[in-house]
Structure 1
């Protein structure tokens, strides 16, 4: 039996460990939080920081292959591990995705359109960039932002930008132009060690306060738009020499064309629907990929809607359990806090 190391102990690591167990793999979690959601279902946990050299050495010694559940793993840690064991997705994918400017430059290099953007390293640069965008845009930290954190929206010249650079920490930022989109979609795709690529159907996503609320499949897009999403994902996976599952988010415009928003080199929240509506979920697909096993084709057997249970939404659990054709998945978290993902539900149409 082979052992898979997973860096990160949150709900995505938890679901990866569960999928690995079904295929007879052991899993070891590297996570500083004791009794994290992933460790509750894994075979072992190394309690240490993600970049602890001794912990990384131990993880490499105990595992045959290493993966990760979130994109803010230190690149240096992934590179250190990669000198001893296969690390999938490759460290290059982390390096690209951790900086929003590098990410957009990479996407543009793949022939994939993004919003216009300016790198911002000072208040003066911010004001110049806002002038170029007629006072409108979304200011984001270049690194470590997620679920709408580390952002500020400028809706026009009347929005006062004074002190905005310092207010976001005085760190490298990026200002992105507004995109007049009709809907947000995402696609989950995978690439195996043999270069095989498989895509799931695109999902249509609705966010609330910067956090994903629902993913609906099929998305309200035509086949040409869906094919464009598949082609973009294929180009990204190929350019990175990728192995594993990736999530790619897009803005869909009125004419059906796509603007890429961001990539996530991991299993993705907007792919949770696959565990209810597909024979092989994104989590099993990722385990298959990193273990060198054949990929599923990603086909779905049902239409569905996935909804995140965030904070006090967990109080509605009895209602969801009573709903027909509904899969409920909780994450092993004991304390519900505002904005905290406690679980998700997927109901089949």
Structure 2
């Protein structure tokens, strides 16, 4: 267990790191961030921030020496960067990053544990793509195997003609067959150093343009009926990775049961509602886990919750939400409100049926 006043290092400088730093301070810990030059909005919330390239081994070594434990706040931290931190200091194990960063390996890993992803095929050439569309059908989605989030690095394939005319990106790809689903949901868990696992309630997630727009609780009967099966897989994934911290798996709710979409080895946008809506937030429990503290209660504390992302220039009007007493605004402090960029979120808790 980390002593009071210990230092937690956070790889990454985005809003997730910002909220981790807040929870760390609440628990009496210092934080140091590490990320390349950029709009590192977590910087002002950390006690210190190191701006250096991911492959700057000297800077990483100096950073690690100042930290008692290290974690990360987004899944595109290079695996080599995470592995440069002494193994007994970094949580989760970098193998979780390595697994999640390649969509093909991720799906094969989940299948090995009994999970069901969407039908998929490896694509390294135009011939591969045409063959994949012929075998799996269209519509479907072509994705780069690495990088890409919030709809980036993805192309919808509506027909074999689309496949024939598409210029492939200069990167390994994967083609996923279309899944007929009724809803999307996520399973968010926290696993301690000792292997204890706790789950938050699942929300119904609504995406617009490939970006999470809103999460709703209760999630609805169909999702609730499939949550146990999804949790069983999530537990297997967490145990197989010997995971420590918060882990998220996203699913499609279908008439055949839950279909695995992807996993995120980190705190997750669809869990932001837990800050106000759960007894212990995903951010506090992540810090508790990596610090070796007892896990907090994950129960939901309101009968109805909505979390909505604030995208791009919508942040200019976000403070209008505060005229409603049930709303909680989180402004991430980002300077540039570009199209499609998550600038903040707002959570609404309804504590009674009258509103």
Q: Which moved more, 1:135-144 or 1:316-325?
A: 316-325
CA contact (8 A) 1:205 1:216 kept: yes
TM-score, length of structure 2 as denominator length: 0.94
**Could you tell me how far 1:254 is from its partner in structure 2?**
2.8
Residue number in structure 1 paired with 2:99: 96
Q: Write the distance in 1 (CA, Å) between the matches of 2:39 and 2:163.
A: 43
Residue number in structure 2 paired with 1:283: 283
CA contact (8 A) 2:120 2:136 kept: no
Q: Write the distance in 1 (CA, Å) between the matches of 2:38 and 2:123.
A: 38
**Could you tell me how far 1:190 is from its partner in structure 2?**
0.7
Residue number in structure 2 paired with 1:28: 32
CA contact (8 A) 1:191 1:198 kept: yes
Q: Does 1:48 align with 2:37?
A: no
Q: Does 1:143 align with 2:146?
A: yes
Residue number in structure 2 paired with 1:15: 19
Residue number in structure 1 paired with 2:341: 340
Which whole-Å deviations, capped at 9, do the CAs of 1:147-202 have from their partners, x for residues lacking one?
00011111234x42235243xx2210000011110000001101000110000001
Which SS does the other structure have where 1:250 is aligned? strand
Gaps of 5+ in 2: 351-355
Residue number in structure 2 paired with 1:301: 301
Which SS does the other structure have where 2:163 is aligned? coil
Which SS does the other structure have where 1:54 is aligned? helix
**Could you tell me how far 1:36 is from its partner in structure 2?**
1.7
Q: Write the distance in 2 (CA, Å) between the matches of 1:275 and 1:179.
A: 32
Which whole-Å deviations, capped at 9, do the CAs of 1:40-75 have from their partners, x for residues lacking one?
111000110122101110111000111001111111
Q: Write the distance in 2 (CA, Å) between the matches of 1:251 and 1:65.
A: 35
Which SS does the other structure have where 2:36 is aligned? coil
CA contact (8 A) 1:6 1:68 kept: yes
CA contact (8 A) 1:199 1:297 kept: no
Among 159, 162, 178, the residue aligned to 1:160: 162
Q: Write the distance in 1 (CA, Å) between the matches of 2:297 and 2:235.
A: 14
Residue number in structure 2 paired with 1:58: 62
Residue number in structure 1 paired with 2:118: 115
Q: Structure 1's 340 and 34: CA in aligned 2 closer, same or farther, altered over 3 A?
A: closer
Runs of 4+ with deviation above 6 angstroms: none
Residue number in structure 1 paired with 2:264: 264
Q: Does 1:253 align with 2:254?
A: yes
Among 99, 111, 134, the residue aligned to 1:131: 134
Gaps of 5+ in 1: none
Q: Which moved more, 1:234-243 or 1:311-320?
A: 311-320
CA contact (8 A) 2:138 2:177 kept: no
Residue number in structure 2 paired with 1:78: 82
Q: Write the distance in 2 (CA, Å) between the matches of 1:12 and 1:241.
A: 22
CA contact (8 A) 1:122 1:165 kept: no
Residue number in structure 2 paired with 1:171: 171
Superposition RMSD on alpha carbons, in Å? 1.3
Residue number in structure 1 paired with 2:209: 209
**Could you tell me how far 1:78 is from its partner in structure 2?**
1.1
Q: How many residues align?
A: 344
Q: Structure 1's 186 and 293: CA in aligned 2 closer, same or farther, altered over 3 A?
A: same
Q: Write the distance in 2 (CA, Å) between the matches of 1:310 and 1:216.
A: 17
**Could you tell me how far 1:80 is from its partner in structure 2?**
1.6
